[in-house]
Amino acid sequence: MKLFINGEEMIVPDDVTNVEELLDYFKLNNKAGIVERNQVIVDRSLHAEEAVTNEDRIEIVHFVGGG
């Protein structure tokens, strides 16, 4: 499946079917962050229910502490 993640075209395995699995794939699930799918923020409690489909535009932003 082809996705645009943070503006960059990426191919992810077809067994990634929802936002939670996508975050797992990028090992980002234990980080505080915000996910946007096609310019709509996905509620944190609905990550497992929000499907990702071919050519979706996904933004993933995680908070860091450094400064």
For binding to other proteins (CB under 8 A), which residues are involved? Answer: 6-8, 30-32, 34, 36, 39, 41, 44, 59, 61, 63-67
Contact 41, 34 (CB under 8 A): yes
Query: Rounded to an integer, what is the distance from CA 66 to the centroid of its chain?
Result: 23
- Least distance CB 1 / other proteins (angstroms): 20
- Least distance CB 15 / other proteins (angstroms): 25
| Beta carbon nearer to other proteins, 16 or 33 | 33
- Least distance CB 51 / other proteins (angstroms): 19
Q: What are the DSSP E strand ranges found in 1-67?
A: 2-5, 8-11, 33-37, 40-41, 57-62
